[in-house]
Amino acid sequence: MNSSTALKNLGAGLAVTGFALLLGYGLYSFFTTESSSILKVSIGAIAVGIALVLLILIKEKTSAEDKETERKY
């Protein structure tokens, strides 16, 4: 692994970590304040749904093999 790949991985890891911490803090703050329970459940379901779809897409992307054939001209 060269340094460029390592820096890309580090940058992506930091971005994902920062996003996850910010989302977690926002959800914690939202669920600890007084508001409608229907609103809390619906926003929680949306957040869990988005996280689930992103995890599935990441899993598919990392496990999929490159199916494109190399063209020789």
**Assigned domain for 71 exists:** no
**What's the total number of domains in the chain?**
2
* 1 and 24 assigned to the same domain: yes
More confident residue, 41 or 70: 41
Q: What's the pTM value of the predicted model, to 2 decimals?
A: 0.53
pLDDT tens-place string over residues 26-58? 878 877 888 788 888 888 888 889 889 988 988
Annotate 3-35 with b (16+ C-beta within 10 A) or e (fewer): eeeeeeeeeeeeeeeeeeeeeeeeeeeeeeeee
For residue 61 the two structure tokens come to: 């992307």
* 38 and 27 assigned to the same domain: no
* 58 and 41 assigned to the same domain: yes
* 38 and 26 assigned to the same domain: no
**Assigned domain for 4 exists:** yes
* 15 and 26 assigned to the same domain: yes
pLDDT tens-place string over residues 3-17? 788 888 888 889 889
Q: Is the pLDDT of residue 65 over 80?
A: no
**Assigned domain for 13 exists:** yes
For 38, the domain range is 34-64
